[in-house]
Structure 1
Amino acid sequence: MSALLEVDGISVSFDGFRAINNLSFNIGEAELRAVIGPNGAGKTTFMDIVTGKTRPDAGDVTFGTPPKSLLRMNEAQIAREGIGRKFQRPTVFEDQTVADNLTMALKAKRSPFAVLGWRPSAESQARVAELASEVGLASQIARKAGELSHGQKQWLEIGMLLAQEPRLLLVDEPAAGMTLAEREQTTALLVRLAESRAVVVVEHDMDFVRRLNCKVTVLHQGAVLAEGSLDHVTRNPDVIEVYLGR
């Protein structure tokens, strides 16, 4: 089976420091992957390259079938191609309701005239209700986003990304700051989402990664150090030395 995302031998340096060093990575159409590694391993730079925020000095990044090079696209074009990124801190419109946040995120024409003339339809309202239900916020749909718990805001932002119908989701440390119950619900959500799209979870929390029960990629000094099940990579002597032993 061909990969949905193929990262091939990318390298990038900042002021002489090599943040990514000949990194190769791929993920399939409907796959959940955890990416772990110590601080400075290149996890954020890897996501920056995939989403077009940073350009590599060497290598290529291709996406889709047939594969298209993401290096020829800007950030907006990459997002429209079907790649959504969720940052660690939730960014939602706090004064707007859950429904309003999801409505604003729906995939639609963005020209000034289209935006000015847009009115919610029965179809768009049904889609918003579906999204709220999918991320566990059906009972909160009329509440202002600012009234939600930290975990609920994270789910709302995931819902806003889903509104764009992405084929690949990049999710940065989703478990940070969540209660145990919220973490369990987030695990179930991410596992469910990966049944129909690719999901990459960058995470420090090893217990959360274990709950995801997926293939793990370990980064170190901008390169892949190990890959496989969590049990497999945590038995790797190099991983123990550079990451788990700290």
Structure 2
Amino acid sequence: MSALLEVSGVSVSFDGFKALNNLSFSIDRAELRAVIGPNGAGKTTFMDVVTGKTRPDEGHVLWGEPPVSLLGKSESKIAMEGVGRKFQRPTVFEDQTVQDNLMMALKKSRSPLAVLLFKPETPDFARVEELADVIGLDAVLSRKSGELSHGQKQWLEIGMLLAQEPKLLLVDEPAAGMTTAERQKTTQILRDAAKTRAVVVVEHDMDFVRRLDCKVTVLHEGSVLAEGSIDHVTKNQQVIEVYLGR
């Protein structure tokens, strides 16, 4: 079976600085992967390339089966292809309830008329309740999102992405600013999500990465420096020198 996402020989330069330098790696269909590395290693640029925000100078980004190129596609087209991205800071509709946020995110036609005429039906309410249960917010469906804790807002945003049924979920530093209990719940949400889709977590927190218990890709200066289990990469001398020793 071919990979869901294959990044091959991708390079990106900004004013002479190589943000990505011949980056190559692949993600399987139902896989949890952590991407780590020092600041400037290329983690955000990698996500920008995959989601269509940044066009690389060279290389290929292949997606799906049969593989198609994501390069040249718009951000919205790539999202419709099944690539979901969660940024570091949660962006939810704070004046709307948890239920409304999830309902708005359900995978539906996005034409202006369809959005205008959308009336939730029984299956829609059932799907929202199912999502709320997955992200641990079933008890607060009627609460305004602005009243949620930081961790709960992060879960709601993950739920909103899951509502769109992505094949790949890119998640940026989900554990930042969370309590210990929230971090444990976040680990479970991401591990469960990766049973049916690819989930890539970009993270600095090594304790959180260890909790995820998945394959780790270490980036340095825009390339893959090491790859393997958390124990494997943390014993790598180069990884210790450029990242863990700091």
Q: Which residue in the other structure is 2:176 paired with? A: 176
Q: Which residue in the other structure is 1:137 paired with? A: 137
Q: Secondary structure at the match of 2:151?
A: helix
> Following the alignment from structure 1 to structure 2, what is the Cα–Cα distance between the partners of residues 184 and 120?
33
The amino acid across from 1:152 in the alignment is Q
> Following the alignment from structure 1 to structure 2, what is the Cα–Cα distance between the partners of residues 13 and 72?
17
Q: Which residue in the other structure is 1:236 paired with? A: 236
> Following the alignment from structure 2 to structure 1, what is the Cα–Cα distance between the partners of residues 205 and 111?
41
How big is the alpha-carbon RMSD for the aligned residues of Structure 1 and Structure 2? 0.6
User: What's the CA shift string for 1:25-67, capped at 9, x where partnerless?
Assistant: 1010000000000000000000000000000000010111111
Q: Which residue in the other structure is 2:19 paired with? A: 19
Shift of 1:117: 1.2
User: What's the CA shift string for 1:150-194, capped at 9, x where partnerless?
Assistant: 000000000000111000000000000000000000001111111
The amino acid across from 1:216 in the alignment is V
**Structure 1 unmatched ranges of 5 or more:** none
The amino acid across from 1:69 in the alignment is S
Map residues 1-246 of structure 1 onto 2, 5 A cutoff: 1-246=1-246
Q: Which moved more, 1:59-68 or 1:109-118?
A: 109-118
Q: Secondary structure at the match of 2:53?
A: coil
Please give the TM-score of this superposition, normalised by the length of structure 1: 0.99
> Following the alignment from structure 2 to structure 1, what is the Cα–Cα distance between the partners of residues 126 and 184?
27
Shift of 1:110: 1.4
The amino acid across from 2:116 in the alignment is L
User: What's the CA shift string for 1:189-237, capped at 9, x where partnerless?
Assistant: 1111111000000000000000000000000000000000111111111
Shift of 1:2: 1.1
Q: Which moved more, 1:140-149 or 1:109-118?
A: 109-118
Q: Secondary structure at the match of 2:71?
A: helix
> Following the alignment from structure 1 to structure 2, what is the Cα–Cα distance between the partners of residues 212 and 110?
34
User: How many residues are paired up?
Assistant: 246
> Following the alignment from structure 2 to structure 1, what is the Cα–Cα distance between the partners of residues 115 and 194?
31
> Following the alignment from structure 1 to structure 2, what is the Cα–Cα distance between the partners of residues 142 and 24?
45
> Following the alignment from structure 2 to structure 1, what is the Cα–Cα distance between the partners of residues 9 and 115?
41
> Following the alignment from structure 2 to structure 1, what is the Cα–Cα distance between the partners of residues 85 and 116?
27
**Structure 2 unmatched ranges of 5 or more:** none
The amino acid across from 2:200 in the alignment is V
Shift of 1:135: 0.8
Shift of 1:113: 1.4
The amino acid across from 1:8 in the alignment is S
Which runs of at least 4 in structure 1 moved beyond 6 Å after TM superposition? none
User: Is the Cα contact below 8 Å between 2:12 and 2:57 reproduced in 1?
Assistant: yes
Q: Secondary structure at the match of 1:91?
A: coil
> Following the alignment from structure 1 to structure 2, what is the Cα–Cα distance between the partners of residues 117 and 193?
31
The amino acid across from 2:29 in the alignment is E
> Following the alignment from structure 2 to structure 1, what is the Cα–Cα distance between the partners of residues 187 and 114?
37
> Following the alignment from structure 1 to structure 2, what is the Cα–Cα distance between the partners of residues 214 and 112?
41
User: Percent identity of the aligned residues?
Assistant: 75
> Following the alignment from structure 2 to structure 1, what is the Cα–Cα distance between the partners of residues 195 and 111?
33
> Following the alignment from structure 1 to structure 2, what is the Cα–Cα distance between the partners of residues 21 and 79?
25
Q: Which moved more, 1:116-125 or 1:151-160?
A: 116-125
Shift of 1:72: 2.9
Please give the TM-score of this superposition, normalised by the length of structure 2: 0.99
